Amino acid sequence: MRRLRNWLLFSLIVLIWGSNWSVMKSALYFVGPFNLVFQRFLISSLALSPLLVALREKVPRDRETLVKLLLLSLINAFGIISTNTGLVYEKSSIGAVLTYTQPLFVFCLAVLFLKEKSKLSRLLGILIGFSGVLILYLRGDLSITNFSYPSLLLIVGAFTWAVTIVYYKKLLSHVNPVVTNIFQLSVGAIILSALSIPIEGFSFPINETYILLVLYMSLASSSLAMTLWVFLLREEEATVLSTTSFIVPAVALIFGWFFLGENLELNSLLGFILIMTGVYLVNKT
């Protein structure tokens, strides 16, 4: 029963995060990336903050846990800044591929720090799933000929995402997921405000379409889906959950095809098959 519940929750995350790629692409027509992420974090933290009243008994009081939460939030904010800066200057296809090197980093860190299983079949599943992401996004061009500074930033962002996963699992899994997410979003909003305003200036278009887009990103993707992600991270192995997230970019392609008219090629089918094979192998072991 617990396994079924977690798969249903993960399916909801996949639908939200998969559709969110199209939403973000549309929202970037209105504002710059730093403004967008800052507004997303700010609205999300404000939306979740009333829950702190209901969860006040679950908010940690000891200094050690609060310091660990602050450090997690700082690492998370640094990773998001690194990823979004890289995406400004790099092709979206390479951005997606480099961002989803995250499960490879999680596998190494989880074996080292969480003592998770390091079976060859599990590593094979991760590599097969990642190859599926490569085929989905790079299509026939599987080479990154000009490895640049933005590419490095994207890899740093992926590694940082992996660090937050293992860090939370190792040190903070006893903290309520909603409380954890509020900390991450609030600290992230403060840091991003200090960067977005000097770099891009503050811009919030009074446009119905933009408002709906940023509300979806904030309430569905950051508030709901991220809280569910943290909850599942408490329940599942870090390697299994991170590798299963390969499904997100596959679903994102479908939403991009349906809503933005992006092309789906025959290679996409092979990519889907490889991703699902990899996910199966990792969950099976």
What whole-number distance in Å separates Cα of residue 253 and Cα of residue 230?
24
CB-CB contact of 238 with 63 (8 Å): no
Please name the amino acid found at residue 36: L
Does the pLDDT of residue 233 top 50, yes or no? Answer: yes
Q: Kindly report, residue by residue over 174-224, the tens digit of the pLDDT.
A: 999 999 999 999 998 998 888 888 888 888 999 999 999 999 999 999 999
- DSSP, res 100: T
Q: What tens digit of pLDDT does each residue of 68-85 get?
A: 999 999 999 888 888 877
- What are the tokens at 107? 């596998």
Exposure string for 251-268, b = 16+ CB within 10 A, e = fewer: bbbbbbeeeeeeeeeeeb
The average pLDDT across 85-91 equals 72
**CA–CA separation, 188 vs 41, rounded Å?**
7
Judge contact between 94 and 144, C-beta under 8 A.
yes
Two structure tokens written together for 70: 């602050």
Task: Delimit the domains of the chain by residue range.
Answer: 2-284
49 pLDDT more than 60: yes
Tokens found for residue 223: 């508030």
Q: Classify the phi-psi angles of 129: left when phi > 0, otherwise alpha if psi is within -120 to 50, otherwise beta.
A: alpha
Look at residue 170 and tell me whether its pLDDT is greater than 60: yes
* Band of pLDDT at residue 92, cut at 50, 70 and 90: low
pLDDT in tens, 108-127: 899 899 988 777 888 888 89
